[in-house]
Structure 1
Amino acid sequence: MTQDPMIDEAMRQRIGPILDEIERHEGVRILVAVESGSRAWRFASRDSDYDVRFIYVRPAEDYLSVETRRDVIELPVDGTLDVNGWDLRKALGLIAKSNAVVTEWLTSPVIYRREDTAAALLLGLAGACAYLPALAYHYDRSARRAWSPGNDPVRLKSYFYALRPALALDWIRRRAELPPMDLPSLMEGASLPSDLRDAVHSLLLRKRVATESDTAERVPPLEAYLAAALSEMAPRPGTWDRAPAIRAVDEAFRALLQTARAEIPDPA
């Protein structure tokens, strides 16, 4: 495996046993585990933490109980490592609602664990169930929360937390398809002027050696791009027919539960 410059190999070696212990202790099987934060978005700072996210499945019998089980597994955050995951049923329900977060997990370029058949099925569902107005609304609001025009210095982190969703919003508007989750892929598929590309590249180099709280003076090409991208607010999506999506995720849920009958360890 080629070493990822955004992922410390010692941390990768630490994450694997943590996932193993979750499976043993909780009696689940992890279908996919990825990096979901700035390291996967490809603009980590030198002190960025690791955001490990996973989707897991329990034995089929657990879903037939009258007692509702918690559908999230969370480990205490230790300052450098944030690990939590969603139950398969929760993840599928969010896919049916065109949730951007679970879709990004499934398209992360940093993979810690992956059952290929299950992960491919989930990703295919995310694409088939995607309702682009809902995703556009999500990315529009994400960008607006991170950035507002002005003259005061801005956190480097805020610039990138605004730029990535602004590019995703632009991708949806121009291509009418799911956007990639990482900044380089978004930029590669965008028609950006050279001064903006140069400015972003310079900021990326600065951010890699900066801290999460470091600031920068306003960058005119980036300010202009964000202002233009957010000049028209994406409307809140109305209701849409989710019946086909629900049928599709239900079918996938039943299929994946058949595979859950084997190879799930007993809880410790």
Structure 2
Amino acid sequence: MNVPEYSIAPEIHHDIMTRIKSTEQEHNVKVLYAIESGSRAWGFASPNSDYDVRFIYAHPKDWYLSVMLEDQRDVIEYPIVDDIDINGWDLRKALKLLRVSNPAIGEWLQSPIVYINHNHFQTQVMALFKQYYKTERGLYHYFNMAKNNYRGYLKNEYVPRKKYLYVLRALCAARWIERFKSPPPIEFTALVTAVVDDSALFDEIQKLVVEKQHTTEKALGPQIPILNQFIEAELNHFNYQFDKSDVDQNTAALDKVFLHMLDFI
């Protein structure tokens, strides 16, 4: 499969960094980690794809010493301006979601496009994610993502090309989890190369990636039978009851990293 381009144009990179700095000043926070998410990080961005910037931030330590902490807002969100979609989660929220194997955290921590990585944040928190990761929760997430997108978008005569890739990415992620018992990589090329063994299917996915990279986000095309057959077979394969109750109650490792990060604010 072709190796995708993960660089960000210098002027866009400068704009993103400027917005992050403005966010820190506006909200009196420190951005610990900021990355590109979505199709640019996955490796199949269209020429007009948005920039999906995601970040994890922390307040000064005293902010967390509040009787009403649970009522405080723990996200920062902005409207999309000039194709830049930027929002983030508070460190405490991010670690709580990590504890329940939230896949978004795992994907952020593996992004190939990193804007800020304060005090080796990625290395420390990725180790935590692997420690707390529960495969059944990952399977449940990606199965439902694939099922909902397939039913919602891929049953018509003409279908959005990007939705094909969303469904394929989710199913390949589920295959990875089932096969390797670990969080799946975010980069689509690495994912497909590792889990798609059928050469005809692999070639068709490759063609779809190239098409997506050279068409607009809303591009439509006819159904691709070999992809639909694969998708339906995988949905049938993963359509079993998942036990989502298995959550690690020991938060000592999370608390340690949380307090360590606050020492640098």
Aligned residues: 257
Alignment of 1:18-33 (within 5 A): 18-33=19-34
Q: What is the match of residue 10 of structure 1? A: 11
> How far off is 1:220 after superposition?
2.3
The answer on 1:60 being equivalent to 2:83 is: no
Residues 169-217 of structure 1 deviation map (CA, whole Å, 9 limit, x = unaligned): 0001111111101211101212422211211121112112212221111
Q: What is the match of residue 133 of structure 1? A: 136
What residue ranges of structure 1 are gaps of 5+ in the alignment? 261-268
> How far off is 1:145 after superposition?
1.4
User: 2: distance between equivalents of 1:57 and 1:224?
Assistant: 46
What residue ranges of structure 2 are gaps of 5+ in the alignment? none
Quick check: 1:6–1:39 contact (8 Å CA) kept in 2?
A: no
- SS in structure 2 at match of 1:66: coil
Residues 33-86 of structure 1 deviation map (CA, whole Å, 9 limit, x = unaligned): 001111111111122111100001111111112343311111222250110000
The answer on 1:87 being equivalent to 2:94 is: no
> How far off is 1:223 after superposition?
1.7
- SS in structure 2 at match of 1:55: strand
Quick check: 1:127–1:178 contact (8 Å CA) kept in 2?
A: yes
Q: What is the match of residue 263 of structure 1? A: none
TM-score relative to the length of structure 2:
0.91
Alignment RMSD (CA, Å): 1.8
- SS in structure 2 at match of 1:32: strand
Structure having greater relative contact order (Cα 8 Å, sep ≥ 6): 1
Query: Which amino acid in the other structure matches residue 260 of structure 2?
Result: A
Q: What is the match of residue 223 of structure 1? A: 228
TM-score relative to the length of structure 1:
0.90
Residues 98-145 of structure 1 deviation map (CA, whole Å, 9 limit, x = unaligned): 111111111111111112522211111111111110110000001111
Q: Which runs of 4+ in 1 moved over 4 A?
A: 3-6
Q: What is the match of residue 206 of structure 1? A: 211
User: 1: distance between equivalents of 2:196 and 2:81?
Assistant: 40
Q: What is the match of residue 243 of structure 1? A: 249
Percent identical pairs in the alignment equals 35
User: 1: distance between equivalents of 2:141 and 2:95?
Assistant: 18
Change (3 A) 1:234 1:186: farther
> How far off is 1:234 after superposition?
4.4
